[in-house]
Structure 1
Amino acid sequence: MPTPTTLSSPRWKATLRRSRHLLGEFGHEQTDPARFYSAIADDSVGQLSQYVDLDGQRFLDVGGGPGYFRDAFRAAGATYVALDADAGELAGLGDIAEGTVIGSGMQLPFRDASIDVCYSSNVLEHVPDPWLMADEMLRVTRPGGTVFISYTLWFGPWGGHETAPWHFLGGRFARRRYARKHGHEPKNRYGESLFAVTASDGLRWARTQADADVVAVVPRYNPSWSYWLLKVPLVREVVTWNLVLILRRK
């Protein structure tokens, strides 16, 4: 497991108080998405700033959604471009903003080595071939550039998203149960827009890809004193919640 190499940034710390705050926000994803995504976006700027100075960087957000992350990263000085497969998601805050692209994360419509920082937050579990998307993110990142991939672990408490915790009995069961209870399908439909991705999957991909150095592998929402749990197979799948892979393109 690589040792994180960080920049000096006293504004952001992986504390227990931070963890409690962020995990509490998960309950508002469906009812108050502005509150939820704004909290995650602000925290993302702080976390990523530990590894790269965002000021002046050409920044691609794969799966950027309606704009909460755009506002946060532009405020940090990045030149922000968002990509999403769903025009409805991009228009969630009104008109689709300038600097947005509709396309597939598994076939990014950008030239090789054209991006300084390629970022994705909680998207990998929503595509059928997540590691093809990860490879594409590396492809479009310039040598020396940074790739930040964060995704929700299937066997964590929030792995089934709004169908949790019933996903522990199977994704299809959880999806059917949700539809029976609420009278409609969940937003995140297992087998269509939600897939089971594990910590072991990410660690294996990071270890076997040959195009970048692995800078850090950390549990995104956990306090720093718990990072050692990533070294424990099976346990890490449950207690990590969300895995972050940070790479620097060779």
Structure 2
Amino acid sequence: MRRSAALLRAFLREQTDPAHTYGLLARDAADQVERHHPLSGATVVDVGGGAGHFTEEFRRRGARAFLFEPDPAELHADDRRPHGAVLADGYLLPLADGAADVCFSSNVLEHVADPQTFLSEMVRVTRPGGLIYVAFTNWYSPWGGHETAPWHYLGAARARARYRRRTGREAKHTLGENLFAVHVGPTLRQVRARPDVRIVSARSRYWPFLPGAITRVPLLREIATWNLLLILRRCP
């Protein structure tokens, strides 16, 4: 409960204090990775890591971490671009097969038009026995519409219009352009059907209790999961 409350408070400060929010989220994510794979000495690929908060946290823990980000604006946000960051598309990473011990992606999958191809590329660059960490905000989550939430439940266009009226500016995210409706059930079925990975954990990323049970209940999981965390092991 303390962890979930701290993350919620941080998210409420995201617009005014992004360094605090993403610094806390990076430490939390690194803790989750280390439960399944040591970071010290590991090669970690951070796909779509924005300004590099996650990459920097992995490096602090002894990993050889590399950031691949497709959006120049995100890469240079807050003048935080970490050394060695690469402008690259997650659909076609400039890496050899099996180059990474850990392939990491936080809150990116809902921003790509073809999640299956994106996941396949993450699997490709992960060595056999390596770890794949994928977390995303599902569309029917209370935060599914991002800055327009929770009004996206009434329709994406209506939610954007309300945001424009309330703030006097356009929302950053547009459904079908840079935000896509990704769902828990179909994603779990697609991953389970893959012969090249096995699921280590499928759980709500932030839910304070029984986080794995929520994802096993159809319909309820689409709302209550809030943010789906998949930890996968690359099969030999």
Identity %: 47
- The amino acid across from 1:115 in the alignment is A
1:175, 1:190 within 8 Å by CA — same for their partners in 2? Answer: no
Q: Bigger shift: 55-64 or 204-213?
A: 204-213
Shift of 1:93: 3.2
Is 1:67–2:66 an aligned residue pair? Answer: no
Is 1:181–2:166 an aligned residue pair? Answer: yes
Is 1:202–2:187 an aligned residue pair? Answer: yes
Q: How far apart, CA to CA, are the structure 2 residues paired with 1:226 and 1:85?
A: 31
Structure 2 residue runs of 5 or longer lacking an equivalent are none
- The amino acid across from 2:233 in the alignment is R
Q: How far apart, CA to CA, are the structure 2 residues paired with 1:224 and 1:56?
A: 32
Partner of 2:212: 227
Shift of 1:227: 2.7
- Runs (4+) of structure 1 moved beyond 3 Å? none
Partner of 1:119: 104
Partner of 1:145: 130
1:98 corresponds to which of 83, 86, 91: 83
Q: How far apart, CA to CA, are the structure 2 residues paired with 1:68 and 1:37?
A: 6
RMSD (CA atoms): 1.4
Partner of 2:29: 44
1:67, 1:93 within 8 Å by CA — same for their partners in 2? Answer: no
2:203, 2:211 within 8 Å by CA — same for their partners in 1? Answer: no
Is 1:25–2:46 an aligned residue pair? Answer: no
Partner of 1:128: 113
Q: How far apart, CA to CA, are the structure 1 residues paired with 2:12 and 2:172?
A: 15
Aligned length: 235
1:220, 1:242 within 8 Å by CA — same for their partners in 2? Answer: yes
Q: How far apart, CA to CA, are the structure 2 residues paired with 1:105 and 1:236?
A: 27
Scaled by the length of structure 1, the TM-score of the pair is 0.90
Q: How far apart, CA to CA, are the structure 2 residues paired with 1:29 and 1:209?
A: 35
- Which has the bigger relative contact order, CA under 8 A and spacing at least 6? 1
